[in-house]
Structure 1
Amino acid sequence: MQIYLPIAEMSVNALLLLLMGGVVGFLSGLFGVGGGFLMTPLLIFVGVPPAVAVGTQANQLVAASLSGVLAHWRRGNVDMKMGVVMLVGGVLGTTGGVGIFAVLQRIGQIDLVISLSYVLFLGVIGGLMVFESARALIKRRRMPARRKLHVHTWLHGLPFKMRFPRSRLYVSALLPGGIGLVGGLLVAIMGIGGGFLLVPAMIYLLGMPTAMVAGTSLFQIIFTTAFATVLQAATNGTVDVVLALLLLVGGVVGAQFGTKAGAYLRGEQARFLLGAMVVLVALKLAWDLIAVPLDLYSLSRMEEG
């Protein structure tokens, strides 16, 4: 069933978009990530212009993340105070990111920057996650000793400390605020919730319990991506409502199933699977950048103005 996307100016199978939204929604609930790291490349793979994919994908993340948060909320796995502090940084990062996006779009380099950003961030973060989680799984099998909740580093000596009773933490507000800031930049420039970066940062930098990370990450992603969607639509005009609605329906349904499945995974297992998926997406994007296209020539109409 073909449907026309007005902003993307193309026709695409509606059932395919629903399926894509469902898969990404499932991952959102399973790992506590927005799923944009997978959805934006998938949209690009089916022919959606990168700028439209980024702007529209942020809207889909709102629904998928909201669905996932409600499920985690019922289990008591959301640290509201931590999420609000991260949100302050996220709003600042999103505002700056949308401005950078507009500049890159005007000079005609936004498509290249989006692809390179995905290869760089996903490759590095995914590789580190796979390495660390694999090592943790091996240690667990060899020596199932009880592990400390978190290890103190120089980061825990930063000023403006706050108590987060839900996560049993006493850390500087600059840490979660900074993590949110980076997440805001990523959602604006790359169209992702930043969960693939937020989740490991919350675990390794903040020392949050793994059970609290997914719900808290999704809580912050809801508001950051909603803010990014409004700014992208008003500033750059890259939000396709028809595309967003199809992805939204699939995402809401998939997130509920993903949250239930996540209850059966240990922290190390979830991080390993997420890291492996991130690396595979990065490798596919890298291959597309260097591979010789089947059609070496194309015709395009230059607009005057």
Structure 2
Amino acid sequence: MQIYLPIAEMSVDALAILAMGGAVGFLSGMFGVGGGFLMTPLLIFVGVPPAVAVGTQANQLVAASVSGVLAHWQRGNVDVKLGLVMLAGGVFGTTLGVWVFGILQRLGQIDITISLTYIFFLGVIGALMLIESARAMLRRRRTATRGKLHHHIWLHGLPLKMRFHRSKLYISALLPAAIGAVGGLLVAIMGIGGGFLLVPAMIYLLNMPTGLVAGTSLFQIIFTTAVATLLQAATNQTVDVVLAMLLLVGGVIGAQFGTKAGGLLRGEQARMLLALLVVSVAGKLAWDLFSRPADVFSIVVGTPG
């Protein structure tokens, strides 16, 4: 069933877009990520202009994240106080990111910037997560001895310390705020919730309990993506409402099933699967960007006779 997208100025198969939204919503609920790291490249793969894919995808993340948070909230897996501190940084990062996005769009460099940014971030973060999760699985097999609950680093010595009772943490508020700011920047420029970066940062930098990371991450993503959608629509006109509605329906349904599936996996298993997905998407983007196109053409400008 073909449907026309007014902002993207193209027709797409509505059922295929619904299926894509459902699949990404499933991943959102399972891993506690917004899923944008996968949806934006998928939209680009089917021909949606990168700028429209980024602006519209941020809107889809709102619904998928709300659906996922509701499921985690019922289980008590959301640290609201820590999420609000991350949100403060996220709003700042989103505003800055939309401003930079507009500048790059006017310069005609936004498409290549989006592709290169995806390849770099997904490749590096995915590889690091893959290595760490593999090591964790090996350690689990070798010993059942539990190590220290928290490993302190120099970042934990920063000022403005706050106590987060739900996560049993006493850390500087600057640390979660900075993580939220980076996430907000990624929402605006890459159209992603930043979960693939927020989740490992919350685990390894904040030392949050793994069970609270997914719900808290999605809680923060809801509001930063909502701000990004409003700013993108108002300043850059890159939000396609028709495409967003199709993604919303699929995302909400998929997130509910993903949350249930996520409870069946151990922490290191979930991180391994997420890492494999991230690396795979980065590889596909790199291949499409640097490989020889299927249709090679050239424009020859003739000289007047």
Name the TM-score, length of structure 2 as normaliser: 0.97
Query: What does residue 108 of structure 1 align with?
Result: 108
Taking the aligned partners of 2:85 and 2:272, their CA distance within structure 1 comes to 28
Does 1:249 find its partner at 2:249?
Answer: yes
Query: What does residue 29 of structure 2 align with?
Result: 29
The SS at the match of 2:254 is helix
Flag as ranges the 4+ runs of structure 1 deviating above 6 A: none
Q: Offset of 1:118 from its aligned partner?
A: 0.2
Does 1:173 find its partner at 2:160?
Answer: no
Taking the aligned partners of 1:12 and 1:89, their CA distance within structure 2 comes to 36
CA deviations over 1:83-132 (Å, ceiling 9, x no partner): 00000000000000000000000000000000000000000000000000
Taking the aligned partners of 1:297 and 1:81, their CA distance within structure 2 comes to 55
CA deviations over 1:223-272 (Å, ceiling 9, x no partner): 00000000000000000000000000000000000000000111111111
Unpaired runs of at least 5, structure 2 = 300-305
Query: What does residue 11 of structure 1 align with?
Result: 11
Q: Offset of 1:147 from its aligned partner?
A: 2.7
**What letter is aligned with 2:123?**
G
Taking the aligned partners of 1:149 and 1:233, their CA distance within structure 2 comes to 44
Q: Offset of 1:146 from its aligned partner?
A: 1.1
Taking the aligned partners of 2:268 and 2:68, their CA distance within structure 1 comes to 20
The SS at the match of 1:166 is coil
CA deviations over 1:184-211 (Å, ceiling 9, x no partner): 0000000000000000000000000000
Does 1:188 find its partner at 2:188?
Answer: yes
Q: Offset of 1:148 from its aligned partner?
A: 2.3
Query: What does residue 154 of structure 1 align with?
Result: 154
The SS at the match of 2:171 is strand
The SS at the match of 1:151 is coil
Query: What does residue 84 of structure 1 align with?
Result: 84
Query: What does residue 238 of structure 1 align with?
Result: 238
Query: What does residue 212 of structure 2 align with?
Result: 212
Q: Offset of 1:298 from its aligned partner?
A: 7.1
Query: What does residue 130 of structure 1 align with?
Result: 130
Taking the aligned partners of 2:108 and 2:228, their CA distance within structure 1 comes to 21
Query: What does residue 43 of structure 2 align with?
Result: 43
Taking the aligned partners of 1:262 and 1:146, their CA distance within structure 2 comes to 23
Query: What does residue 69 of structure 2 align with?
Result: 69
Name the TM-score, length of structure 1 as normaliser: 0.97
Taking the aligned partners of 2:298 and 2:235, their CA distance within structure 1 comes to 30
Taking the aligned partners of 1:75 and 1:206, their CA distance within structure 2 comes to 21
The SS at the match of 1:4 is strand
The SS at the match of 2:166 is helix
The SS at the match of 2:89 is helix
CA RMSD of aligned residues (A): 0.7
The SS at the match of 2:22 is helix
Taking the aligned partners of 2:144 and 2:251, their CA distance within structure 1 comes to 37
Q: Offset of 1:144 from its aligned partner?
A: 1.3
CA change 1:64–1:286 in 2 (3 A) is same
Taking the aligned partners of 2:297 and 2:255, their CA distance within structure 1 comes to 41
CA change 1:134–1:104 in 2 (3 A) is same
**What letter is aligned with 1:99?**
W
The SS at the match of 2:16 is helix
Taking the aligned partners of 1:26 and 1:91, their CA distance within structure 2 comes to 26
Does 1:140 find its partner at 2:140?
Answer: yes
Query: What does residue 272 of structure 2 align with?
Result: 272
Identity of aligned residues (%): 78
Taking the aligned partners of 1:272 and 1:298, their CA distance within structure 2 comes to 43
Query: What does residue 118 of structure 1 align with?
Result: 118
Unpaired runs of at least 5, structure 1 = 300-305
Q: Offset of 1:153 from its aligned partner?
A: 0.8
**What letter is aligned with 2:79?**
D
Equivalent pairs, count? 299
Query: What does residue 302 of structure 2 align with?
Result: none
